[in-house]
């Protein structure tokens, strides 16, 4: 059964999320579902789970991160089958991966989640993040300053640097190549403003419409936070009490903010103010109950959603997919 909660407010200029399957130049529709290559399942072992997605609009490609192993898969908008682009299981020190983004030069930034944290919670010395060229050349594998960093998601700032959220502390790290070297620094620490609570805290991140601030999701409590790009100061986004618990990936298109609510199996659409200080709910729409969608990106006019397989234990079973219509079931 499909479930949609739609709110109408006077003067509201943001339409609910509409899914379309446009034809490409070669005639005929593009795929609505893209297949990911996962690990084989052997009894109660193997299998794959996924989370992050990055999109390169200039090249018509997208990248998906595999949580179970750290492989990075690459797809093209006109081909239903993706390919493993970067290996995992220790490749460049990567055993898991989370958020991904792509800058204007086509460089791919990958957040490592708990890659640098040992099973006992101590530092294992592995990288927390990676930067690759469009051809797959490793440009940087970096450790975030401090301890216990869980780099969740990443977005490109107005200065061209990449900004990574930390789920284990209310922090954002900045990564950039300056004076010929790649460096990572703590850019903002909101420890005095954002309470660190049980579960996944800071995650999805986008820029506000006027590019004056980052809007960041705190999924475990369903809040949005505004980080000013000039000084890193933090204030809570006024959402009018919208239920955003489970907020994971964020997508902004103009003033429309799409919030992927993973285990709630909902997608929320909000109208976001220009400076990111407030947002008003337009629609809550139920997604396919057989999927736990985590993140999304817009590519060539369509939104691509990652089916994580997080609900399947102990292993994620095929098919492994990225979908462009999360509401059909």
Class of domain 4-15+36-323: mainly beta
Give pLDDT tens digits for 149-193: 999 999 999 999 999 999 999 999 999 999 999 999 999 999 999
> Alpha-carbon distance 69 to 88, whole Å?
5
Tell me which DSSP letter residue 123 carries.
Answer: B
pTM of the predicted structure, to 2 decimals: 0.93
Residues 6+ apart with CB under 8 A from 284: 4, 5, 243, 266, 267, 268, 269
Q: Encoding tokens for residue 69?
A: 């192993």
Q: Encoding tokens for residue 110?
A: 């990958």
Give pLDDT tens digits for 119-146: 998 999 999 999 999 999 999 999 999 9
Give pLDDT tens digits for 187-235: 999 999 999 999 999 999 999 999 999 999 999 999 999 999 999 999 9
Q: Provide the residue count of the chain.
A: 329
Reading phi first (left if > 0) and then psi (alpha if -120 to 50, else beta), residue 289 is in alpha
């Amino acid at each position: 059964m499909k479930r949609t909660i739609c709110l109408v407010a006077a003067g509201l200029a943001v339409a609910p999320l509409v899914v379309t399957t446009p034809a490409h130049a070669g005639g005929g529709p593009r795929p609505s579902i893209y297949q990911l290559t996962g690990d084989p399942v052997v009894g109660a072992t193997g299998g794959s789970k996924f989370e992050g997605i990055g999109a390169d609009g200039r090249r018509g490609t997208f990248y998906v991160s595999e949580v179970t192993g750290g492989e990075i898969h690459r797809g093209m908008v006109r081909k239903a089958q993706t390919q493993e682009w970067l290996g995992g299981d220790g490749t460049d020190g990567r055993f898991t991966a989370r958020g991904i983004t792509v800058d204007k030069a086509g460089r791919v930034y990958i957040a490592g989640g708990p890659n640098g944290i040992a099973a006992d919670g101590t530092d294992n010395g592995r990288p927390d993040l990676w930067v690759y060229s469009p051809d797959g050349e490793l440009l940087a594998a970096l450790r975030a300053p401090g301890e216990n960093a869980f780099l969740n998601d990443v977005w490109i700032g107005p200065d061209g640097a990449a900004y990574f959220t930390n789920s284990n502390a209310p922090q954002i790290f900045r990564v950039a190549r300056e004076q010929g070297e790649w460096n990572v620094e703590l850019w903002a620490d909101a420890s005095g403003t954002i309470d660190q609570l049980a579960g996944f805290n800071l995650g999805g991140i986008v820029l506000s419409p006027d590019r004056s601030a980052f809007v960041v999701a705190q999924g475990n409590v369903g809040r949005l936070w505004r980080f000013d790009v000039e000084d890193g100061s933090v204030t809570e986004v006024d959402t009018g009490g919208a239920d955003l618990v489970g907020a994971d990936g964020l997508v902004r298109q103009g003033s429309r903010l799409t919030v992927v609510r993973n285990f709630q199996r909902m997608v929320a659409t909000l109208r976001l103010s220009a400076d990111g200080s407030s947002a008003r709910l337009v629609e809550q729409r139920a997604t396919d109950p057989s999927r736990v969608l985590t993140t999304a990106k817009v590519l060539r006019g369509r939104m691509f959603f990652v089916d994580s397989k997080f609900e399947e234990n102990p292993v994620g079973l095929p098919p492994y997919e990225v979908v462009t219509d999360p509401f059909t079931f």
